[in-house]
């Protein structure tokens, strides 16, 4: 795994928000954002928008890794996202990891969970549909 040339997993937006790739589990990227001011909503807690940004970025990152492992290059575009806010996320490191439930020719369906100290007590989850526009090697 370590030898594979990994695709860029973070957008400008994700990097600017402070999102980092904290590691890989079974080849799936685990993303993290720490409790910085840029994520704060009500005092001491994550803003729902920041939590959603992490979830969405983790979904894209998992797709980019999966496509890269298939030797495919593709442009990803959002179709939709539904976020469930399960518990308030404290202003502390928040992690997220996605599961690709379907990787089709034109779209993918991805579920994502975000957690803090207790992995089995997620703070938020998301389902997203993503448009996939594959770039053939000959295309310019």
Partner 1 sequence: MEKQTSPQESPHRDPSAVFDPAAASPFLFAGGHPGWLGLAYRAHGEDWTELTLPWREDLVGDDVRRVIASGPIFSMLDMGGGMAIWTREKRFVPVATLDMRVDYQRPAGEKADVIARCECFRTTRSAAFVRGIAHDGDPDDPVATMAAVYMTIGNASGGAAKNG
Among 63, 65, 74, 83, binds partner 1 (CB under 8 A): 83
Q: Does 92 bind partner 1 (CB under 8 A)?
A: no
CA separation for the pair 91, 94 (Å, rounded): 8
| 3 state DSSP class of 113 | strand
- Give 8-68 as a DSSP string: P---HHHHHHT-EEEEEETTEEEEEE-S-GGGBSSTTBB-HHHHHHHHHHHHHHHHHHHHH
Q: Does 113 bind partner 1 (CB under 8 A)?
A: no
Interacting positions 46-75 with partner 1 (CB under 8 A): 46-50, 52-53, 56-57, 75
CA separation for the pair 114, 118 (Å, rounded): 10
Q: How far is the CB of 40 from partner 1 (least distance, A)?
A: 4
Closest CB to partner 1 among 77 and 134?
77
Q: How far is the CB of 41 from partner 1 (least distance, A)?
A: 6
Q: Does 85 bind partner 1 (CB under 8 A)?
A: yes
Q: Does 28 bind partner 1 (CB under 8 A)?
A: no
Closest CB to partner 1 among 63 and 83?
83
CA separation for the pair 45, 23 (Å, rounded): 24
């Amino acid at each position: 795994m370590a030898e594979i040339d990994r695709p860029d997993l973070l957008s400008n937006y994700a990097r600017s928000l402070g999102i980092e790739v904290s590691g890989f589990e079974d080849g799936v990227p685990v993303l993290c954002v720490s409790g910085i001011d840029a994520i704060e909503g009500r005092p001491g807690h994550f803003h729902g928008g920041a939590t959603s940004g992490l979830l969405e970025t983790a979904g894209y990152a998992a797709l980019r890794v999966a496509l890269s492992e298939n030797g495919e290059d593709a442009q990803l575009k959002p179709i939709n996202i539904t976020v469930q806010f399960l518990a308030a996320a404290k202003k502390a490191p928040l992690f997220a990891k996605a599961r690709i439930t379907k990787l089709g020719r034109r779209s993918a369906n991805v579920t994502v969970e975000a957690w803090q100290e207790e992995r089995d007590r997620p703070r938020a989850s998301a389902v997203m549909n993503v448009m996939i526009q594959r770039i053939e090697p000959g295309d310019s």
